[in-house]
Structure formats: structure tokens, C-alpha cells
Amino acid sequence: MKQSRGDGVRLFRTIAGLRCFLELQRSQQRVLQPPIVAGELILLQEEVGLVPTMGALHQGHLSLIRRARRENAIVVVSLFVNPLQFGPHEDFDRYPRALEQDRALCVEAGVDAMFAPTVEEMYGQGEPLTQVMPPPELISRLCGAYRPGHFPGVATIVTKLLTIVQPDRAYFGQKDAQQVAVIRRLVSDLNLPVEVVACPILREVDGLAMSSRNQYLTPEQRLQATILYRSLQRAEQIFQRGERDSSVLIEIVRLELATVPELQLEYIEMVDPITMIPMDRVIKTGLMAVAARLGSTRLIDNILLRPNRKPMIAIDGPAGAGKSTVTRLVAQSLGLLYLDTGAMYRAVTWLVLESGISLQDEPAVAELVSRCRIELVSQADLQAPPQVWINGQEVTEAIRTPEVTAQVSTIAAQPAVRQELVKQQQRYGEQGGIAIEGRDIGTYVFPDAEIKIFLTASVLERARRRQQDLKNQGKGEISLEELEHAILERDRKDSTRALAPLRQAEDAIEILTDGLTVAEVVDRIVRLYQEKC
């Protein structure tokens, strides 16, 4: 995916203009990056990422835009101060508007289109509107209790934006955790074909969560505002020492906040991060959220509390860099579960073959896979590969047959299969303690992985290794030049394919394996892990 086009950004005020632009862009992408044929599947390269904002962009928004830029061919940023989500006495009129500054930031970030419609363009001339109403239990607490009408307003504008832009992915900040929960539910309940990507909270150096509203604060209030995050951190410390009772944790935050008498507290709540239902005790994950006012400025912040888990290692890199051998050995040395994604695709292939449905019948495969449950279990002997179970049946050996090997790439190339397996992998990730390799693990599957490695080797080195492998397998001598050419072509395909393209995470540590033995590479990663934990 491109980083930045450098040819400016188009600003649209009307839905018609934006739609026409997107149609043209999508067809241009089709010509520029013709479909890639992977197995039997044709992959198109015209994905659109949408970052909905109310403008007055700050670093938090820019982190969403950068992520969208990395993951999509076309990036649209909407800037619309949505009157529907403001109450009658809220700050709609004084909400910061800074279109020219926003435009400069969007150019810099390589955005393709800004969509800044007028209120009339979005809502007409004041005639009654159809609105989207999220389920009451999701919006009756936290901000919903203090801002009646806010979430129906958000749900309505987001539904409109998703319908207008029809993005493949839409990016939201986790600072508005209840908003993320509402939007996820909206997308799921209305079957909207978009992936909701929630991005981590960006903070100032003193911990204050970034927000366009921070600019309302006086210098004194700006200092006082840091108490919000400090109080949440305090609760997190106590939580990590084993306290699970929500009322105790809430009391800790309340006491901290009380040290700034100017702060008018609205709420401190511990809720389930998906349903927003209050939790008496936190067993797995709890969302601790606060809202308070400093003068006329309303501030919110939150933290996810989950028991300290063993960190995970995500290893990405081009084909032939030795990822799977290295990841397996790293997992063995550190006692982590090697999350063998290859085995997961094999297990699904086995299931499809067993079921008798045609491998090419993608809808039937999608149905079957959406109902399957794969388990990988480390064996007592860490040298042995993990046991593989699917739907309660052990298939560790069965997935290694030539029939499965012959069909696995056809199954793996199906987007619905990948989507389901990524979900299952992410469930393992919640518990931590895994080592996993691929092409987009650190950027897409586990963007929050504690340790990210980009394992690579020069084309010449990989050609040499391949030549040696072929020799060892008695497959004769192929010239280095020919192999280098094939590797370059494979790299090009891997980094431009639509499904799981090869990407290096910004925070990945690159290890160039030229001249290093496998043991040296493993040792280096093991040491990095130990230093971090």
C-alpha cells in the first residue's frame, strides 16, 4: 500500500462530488493495480478506509489516519461537526473548526479525500429525520446517561457516512469507548459490510488523552486535567496486584480525583467493554471509564483492565526469511504457544474436505468456517508441534495428508476463511503468551503485540538459501539469478496483494538475517523478549 501520494487532497462539500471521486478512484485503482490472481481467486486492490472526525484534527486523529493509510488504497477523512449528537446546552457552536489547518494535516498524511459537508447537505432543510437508535442498555449509562440524544446522533451520522463512502474499514479512537461499542453493535445489527477498527488512545506526554476539546482548557486546568489518567493508572496498579472488586477500584479513582476540588465528577464506572453492562468484579477484562468537567470543559478517559498477561511475539517478514522455523524455536525456548496459523488453515481445509462441499463454493465454505472452533494445544514435549483440534476432534495428523496439502492454498485465499481465522487467532491473543508469524500480524492481526519483529534477509541471501534447499531435496541446481528474480516477484506480489499483504509495523524491530545462523536469530529474539518482560 502506498504511504502518501504527494499530489494533494481533494476537498468535497457534497455527497455527489465525493461519490463520483470515489467511483473514479476505485476504477483507477483497478487499472493501476490490476487484479492479482492467487490460486483461483481474483483479488481487487481498491480498498477504502474512512476516518470519521469532527475536524480540529490532532495527533490522535492522525494516528487513525496513518493506520488507514497503511491499510487501504484510498483514504477518506470526513470532517463534520454533527449537530445531532450535541445537546441543546452543549458546545456545538463553539466546537473548534479549523478546516485550513486540517487540510494541511491531511495533505501531509497522504489523505485522498476530505469530506466536509454542510449541515444542509447531510440533513436537508430541517424536515423530520429518520434516526438510528442504538439499544437502550448500551447507551443508558456512562456518557449516554449525561448526554441524552448523543449516541442516537452518533449512530445516525456514522450510518450515513458508512452508506455514502462504503468503506472497507472505518477507524475510531478507543478514547470514546462507548462510541466504539455503539458503532460495533450498529455494524453488526445492521449487517453493514465494514470492518470497525478501534485504535489505541493517544496521550500527551503527561498522560492527558488527546481531544479537540483540550484546547478549551486554561493553562491551570490543563495541568489539573492530568489527574484523570493518573487516577486510572492508580486503579490499574491495584488491579494488577490482584484487586478485582469494582467498588474498591472505583473508590480508588474517586479518592484520586477528589485531590483536584475544581473537578466536577460525572461518573466513574466499571463496565463490560462490549455490552457496557456494569461489572461487580473483573474476571477477564473490564473497562474503567471516567467523565468529569473542569469549568465548562467536559473530559472523558478510560482504561482497559485485564490481568497482566504473558506478552506475545508477532513475527512478520518476506517469504524465505526463515519465519516459521525461527518462530517455532522462539516459542519452544520461551514456553509460549506457537500459534501455527498454517495448521489452522489446514484444519479448515480438512473440515471442508470431510464435509464433502466443493472447495470452490465460497459461500458454503464461509458458512462452515463461521461455525467451526479450532483449538491449538501445546504438548508437554515442547519440541512436538501443538495438537490441533477442530470442533472437538483431534486432527493433528489428519491435517498433514497430501490431500489437505494440495488444497490448503485454495481455502486460505478465501477472504471469509481468513476473516474467521483472524478472529479465532485474536481470541488466543487476548490471553497472551503466544508466538505467531505471518505477513501482517504486527500491523493487522495483533497491532498491540508487545514484541514485533520484522524478519528479513536480502534477496541474494534468500536465493542462496533456496538454492541450498533445492539441492538438499535433490531437485538440481537452479541459477541464483533465476531464484533472485522469482523472489523479487514473490515479494512484489506479497506486498501488493489485497488479502493479508506483507507490511512492516512502524514499531517492529527489523532483524536482517544475512550472515546469521538460525540459533543466533532465535537467541536475539529471546533476549529481546526477556528484556521486555
Give, for 324, the enclosing helix (H) or strand (E). Answer: helix 323-334
181 binds ligand PAF (CB under 6 A): no
155 binds ligand PAF (CB under 6 A): no
**Shortest gap between Cβ of 174 and ligand PAF (angstroms)?**
11
Site string for ligand PAF, 455-484 (x = CB under 6 A): ------------------------------
Burial class, 338, CB count within 10 angstroms (exposed 0-12 / middle 13-18 / buried 19+): buried
CA-to-CA separations, 269 to 201, 226, 253, 296, 402, in angstroms, rounded: 18, 18, 10, 22, 54
Binder among 64, 157, 303, 422 for ligand PAF (CB under 6 A): 157
Give, for 401, the enclosing helix (H) or strand (E). Answer: none
Long-range pairs of 83-87 with CB within 8 A, sequence gap ≥ 24: 83/119, 83/123, 83/153, 84/123, 84/129, 84/131, 84/149, 84/152, 84/153, 84/156, 84/157, 85/149, 85/150, 85/151, 85/153, 85/154, 85/157, 86/150, 86/153, 87/147, 87/148, 87/149, 87/150
158 binds ligand PAF (CB under 6 A): yes
152 binds ligand PAF (CB under 6 A): no
176 binds ligand PAF (CB under 6 A): yes
Q: Of the two residues 115 and 345, which places its CB atom closer to ligand PAF in the complex?
A: 115
53 binds ligand PAF (CB under 6 A): yes
Q: Of the two residues 142 and 352, which places its CB atom closer to ligand PAF in the complex?
A: 142
Q: Of the two residues 79 and 303, which places its CB atom closer to ligand PAF in the complex?
A: 79
187 binds ligand PAF (CB under 6 A): no
Residues 375-434 that bind ligand PAF (CB under 6 A): none
What residue is closest to ligand PAF based on CB? 52
Stretch that binds ligand PAF, among 16-24, 154-162, 262-270, 334-342 (CB under 6 A): 154-162
Beta carbons of 520 and 464 less than 8 angstroms apart: no
266 binds ligand PAF (CB under 6 A): no
Beta carbons of 173 and 201 less than 8 angstroms apart: yes
Residue from 61, 89, 150, 485 carrying the catalytic annotation: 61
Site string for ligand PAF, 112-151 (x = CB under 6 A): ----------------------------------------
Question: What is the distance between the alpha carbons of residues 398 and 408, in angstroms, rounded to a whole number?
Answer: 13
Q: Of the two residues 82 and 513, which places its CB atom closer to ligand PAF in the complex?
A: 82
Burial class, 184, CB count within 10 angstroms (exposed 0-12 / middle 13-18 / buried 19+): middle
Q: Of the two residues 53 and 231, which places its CB atom closer to ligand PAF in the complex?
A: 53
Stretch that binds ligand PAF, among 49-57, 194-202, 257-265, 309-317 (CB under 6 A): 49-57
Helix (H, G, I), strand (E, B), or coil: what is residue 78? strand
Q: Is 61 a catalytic residue?
A: yes
Binder among 52, 144, 273, 438 for ligand PAF (CB under 6 A): 52
Binder among 54, 235, 300, 404 for ligand PAF (CB under 6 A): 54
Q: Of the two residues 122 and 399, which places its CB atom closer to ligand PAF in the complex?
A: 122
What is the crossing angle of helices 341-355 and 362-370, to 10°? 110
Q: Of the two residues 53 and 302, which places its CB atom closer to ligand PAF in the complex?
A: 53
Q: Of the two residues 82 and 424, which places its CB atom closer to ligand PAF in the complex?
A: 82
- Tell me the site size for ligand PAF, rule CB under 6 A: 10
Query: CB-side exposure of 515: number of CA atoms within 13 Å?
Result: 1
105 binds ligand PAF (CB under 6 A): no
Q: What is the grid cell recorded at 418?
A: 481468513
Task: Specify the amino acid at residue 280.
Answer: D
Q: What is the grid cell recorded at 442?
A: 504486527
**Shortest gap between Cβ of 197 and ligand PAF (angstroms)?**
13
Question: Which parts of 409-470 are beta strand (E)?
Answer: 434-438, 451-456
**Shortest gap between Cβ of 179 and ligand PAF (angstroms)?**
6
Site string for ligand PAF, 61-90 (x = CB under 6 A): ---------------------x--x-----
Q: Of the two residues 115 and 444, which places its CB atom closer to ligand PAF in the complex?
A: 115
**Shortest gap between Cβ of 79 and ligand PAF (angstroms)?**
9
**Shortest gap between Cβ of 300 and ligand PAF (angstroms)?**
11
Q: What is the grid cell recorded at 64?
A: 487513525
Name the residue among 146, 149, 117, 145 with its Cα closest to residue 133: 149
Q: What is the grid cell recorded at 351?
A: 473440515
Beta carbons of 326 and 315 less than 8 angstroms apart: yes
What phi and psi values does residue 360 have, to the nearest 5 degrees? -85, -10
Q: What is the grid cell recorded at 348?
A: 479448515
Long-range pairs of 95-98 with CB within 8 A, sequence gap ≥ 24: 95/54, 95/56, 95/212, 96/55, 96/56, 96/212, 96/215, 97/55, 97/56, 98/55, 98/56, 98/57
505 binds ligand PAF (CB under 6 A): no
Kindly list the residues in this chain that would bind ligand PAF in the complex (CB under 6 A): 52-54, 82, 85, 154, 157-158, 176, 179
State the catalytic residues. Answer: 61
